[in-house]
Amino acid sequence: MRAPNETFSYPYPHPAVTTDVVVFTIRDGRLSILLVERANPPFAGNWALPGGFLDIGEDLDACAARELEEETGISGLYLEQLYTFGATHRDPRERVISVTYYALVPLDALATPRAASDAAAVGWHAFDALPPLAFDHAEIVQMAHRRLVAKLDYSTIAFGFMPKTFTLSELQGVYEILLHQALDKRNFRKRMLSLDLVEETGKLRRNGKHRPAREYRVKHPERVEIIK
Amino acid sequence: MRAPNETFSYPYPHPAVTTDVVVFTIRDGRLSILLVERANPPFAGNWALPGGFLDIGEDLDACAARELEEETGISGLYLEQLYTFGATHRDPRERVISVTYYALVPLDALATPRAASDAAAVGWHAFDALPPLAFDHAEIVQMAHRRLVAKLDYSTIAFGFMPKTFTLSELQGVYEILLHQALDKRNFRKRMLSLDLVEETGKLRRNGKHRPAREYRVKHPERVEIIK
DNA sequence: GTTGATCGTGTATCAACGACACTTAGGTCA
DNA sequence: TGACCTAAGTGTCGTTGATACACGATCAAC
């Protein structure tokens, strides 16, 4: 496609542009994020966010989706732009501007990532027990987490973690994990139902040796994320 | 500094990176933004946001501040990152990624901008009567406005428009302009004073042939922007 | 000293939120 | 088959925050 020794020249120096994605999910009751183990320098052997260099004819959103798919096999997520990081020495190779995104994966989506391209391994890591991360990715993860928690208050972002159908107890569990605190069952249900965002499927879900729970679904899955 | 015909080469194509800044103020009772008239193609003669190309050794925030100062003479503002725009054909010359910022100027700051560098003219334009803008700058302005209005609800961002001292009526006026609606005087004062963010200077301000108003100042000017 | 203009103040009602405990339904097992 | 275990599901009351609303006080101008 491209001559081996071809180069691209500009009258002024240009930085490289990358995208990086923070993918959240909840696994085994813990908030977790998706990391790839770097196969190549710099930071070979370290864990990092999935991401990579922007193709010159590609939109930023498309780049984030493509790199995520290439490195982890996960696709079809709704990616929201988070922040752009551009400190001068954040990458030892050259000047790199990183446009970062975040996304949520439902609990059930059997998102078993597979390593590919320049990643040695891929895996979910509990947010409160992350390994050391390459580049400034720890900072990116922190910002994504702050954004996620802030959005719980004024948006329906938590539904991003829910499978197609779920029980109110499961939904409450997601909030409790994200907020790090127990919630009152009656108040939680009152608030959720008054928002008029979920509806009963009519089915019951049997989860153990006790009374079965009513199953719910989101009423307007397309416009989750609306501000309350 | 640089040899005239020097070029910078990379094994892969690199986009250019720019910063653009949306500066808000309130003039004559109208929300206004700062625009520069472009002296050079593309879009020569059109109005655009102040901004320009990132220097290779410069942080993004510094670039935004520098370009703003160079093109308008305004400096010392607190710039907050807004969003990064990178659609493939947003600049006809080459692929350009723009990291955008926004900032607020107090009403009194005699911010008389002066044209410089590659700007033919500089001026304030009422937000509800903007001229056609170059590139995708209209979209950037819309996003900045949405962010500004959203932040009114849960932050102290409105103080960014206030001079060192002000009256509660002036502060109320700012809110009314931004929110596009009249507010009840008693309720507004109750809420503002209960936040414990302003204090009386002890002075009175005479503004006309009527009872003078008490003068206030922000209590902790350094940490304006805190979430309520 | 009357007029005009803005400043500054209090109360009553309603809605939203938080605290709080028991009954119901199904599964399990003796 | 009935006793028991476990999570599901439900209502009230008090507190707090938001909204609606009207008039006297103060200064300048005449």
pLDDT of residue A4: 64
Same domain, B23 and B126: yes
pLDDT of residue B120: 74
Q: How confident is the model at residue B205 (pLDDT cuts 50, 70, 90)?
A: very high
Residue corresponding to tokens 């993860």: A141
Domain boundary among A124, A153, A182: A153
pLDDT of residue B197: 93
Q: Tell me which nucleotides of strand C come within 7 A of a protein CB.
A: 4-11, 17-21, 24-28
Same domain, A148 and A55: yes
Helices (H), B118-203: 137-154, 168-179, 185-195
Q: In the structure encoding, which two tokens stand for residue B54, read together?
A: 């990132």
- B41 located within any domain: yes
Q: How confident is the model at residue A8 (pLDDT cuts 50, 70, 90)?
A: very high
Tens of pLDDT, residue by residue over B184-197, are 999 999 999 999 99
How many angstroms separate the CA atoms of B70 and B118, rounded? 9
Higher pLDDT: B119 or A125? It is A125
pLDDT of residue B226: 67
| Interface A:B, Cβ pairs < 8 A | 93
Same domain, B180 and B128: no
Q: Which of B177, B161, B69, B72 is nearest to B123 (CA)?
A: B72
ipTM of this model? 0.93
Q: Which of A31, A213, A212 is nearest to A104 (CA)?
A: A31
- B5 located within any domain: no
- B228 located within any domain: no
> How far B85 CA lies from chain A's nearest CA (Å)?
8
We report the CATH number of the domain holding residue A203 as: 1.10.10.10
Same domain, A31 and A97: yes
What CA–CA distances, in Å, run from B227 to B148, B195, B219, B224?
Answer: 14, 11, 15, 9
Residue with minimal CA–C1' distance to C24 is: A211
Q: Do B14 and A17 make contact, defined as CB atoms within 8 angstroms?
A: yes
Whether A2 shows a pLDDT value over 90: the answer reads no
Structural Rg of chain B based on CA atoms: 20
Tens of pLDDT, residue by residue over A160-188, are 999 999 999 999 999 999 999 999 999 99
Same domain, B121 and B26: yes
Whether A128 shows a pLDDT value over 70: the answer reads yes
8 A C-beta contact, residue A104 and residue A157 = yes
Same domain, B22 and B129: yes
Closest residue of B to A154, CA-based?
B154
Q: Tell me which nucleotides of strand D come within 7 A of a protein CB.
A: 5-12, 18-22, 25-29
Whether B52 shows a pLDDT value over 90: the answer reads yes
Q: How confident is the model at residue A228 (pLDDT cuts 50, 70, 90)?
A: low
How many angstroms separate the CA atoms of A143 and A22, rounded? 10
What CA–CA distances, in Å, run from B71 to B21, B52, B81, B202, B227?
Answer: 11, 9, 19, 40, 32
How many angstroms separate the CA atoms of B49 and B43, rounded? 12
B203 touches strand C (CB under 7 A): no
Same domain, B25 and B132: yes
Same domain, A167 and A207: yes
Tens of pLDDT, residue by residue over A16-75, are 999 999 999 999 999 999 999 999 999 999 999 999 999 999 999 999 999 999 999 999
How many angstroms separate the CA atoms of B181 and B192, rounded? 17
Residue with minimal CA–C1' distance to C28 is: A209
Same domain, B124 and B173: no
Full-model pTM: 0.94
How many angstroms separate the CA atoms of A98 and B21, rounded? 19
Q: What is the mean pLDDT of residues B48-54?
A: 98
Residue with minimal CA–C1' distance to C29 is: A209
Q: What is the mean pLDDT of residues B142-163?
A: 95
Residue B181: CB atoms within 10 A of its CB come to 8
Q: What is the mean pLDDT of residues A181-203?
A: 96
Q: What is the mean pLDDT of residues B72-88?
A: 96
Same domain, B60 and B110: yes
Domain boundary among A99, A122, A153: A153
Q: Do B15 and A14 make contact, defined as CB atoms within 8 angstroms?
A: yes
Q: E strands along chain B, which residues? A: 8-10, 16-27, 30-38, 47-48, 51-53, 80-85, 96-104, 119-126, 165-166, 198-205, 213-218
Number of domains in chain B: 2
Residues 6+ apart with CB under 8 A from A137: A20, A48, A49
Q: How confident is the model at residue B149 (pLDDT cuts 50, 70, 90)?
A: very high
- B113 located within any domain: yes
Q: Mind giving me the DSSP string for A121-146?
A: EEEEEEGGGPPPBSTTHHHHHHHHHH
Same domain, A97 and A108: yes
Tens of pLDDT, residue by residue over A101-111, are 999 999 876 66
Q: Which domain holds residue B187?
A: 157-223
Structural Rg of chain A based on CA atoms: 20
Residue B42, preceding peptide bond in cis (omega within 30° of 0): yes
Portion of chain B with pLDDT greater than 90, in percent = 85
- B149 located within any domain: no
Tens of pLDDT, residue by residue over B158-183, are 999 999 999 999 999 999 999 999 99
Domain boundary among B137, B169, B192: B137
Q: Which of A69, A57, A153 is nearest to B12 (CA)?
A: A57
Same domain, A145 and A161: no
- A2 located within any domain: no
- B147 located within any domain: no
- How confident is the prediction for chain B on average, in pLDDT? 93
We report the CATH number of the domain holding residue A136 as: 3.90.79.10
Q: Do A59 and B86 make contact, defined as CB atoms within 8 angstroms?
A: yes
How far does the CA of A170 sit from the C1' of C21, in Å? 22
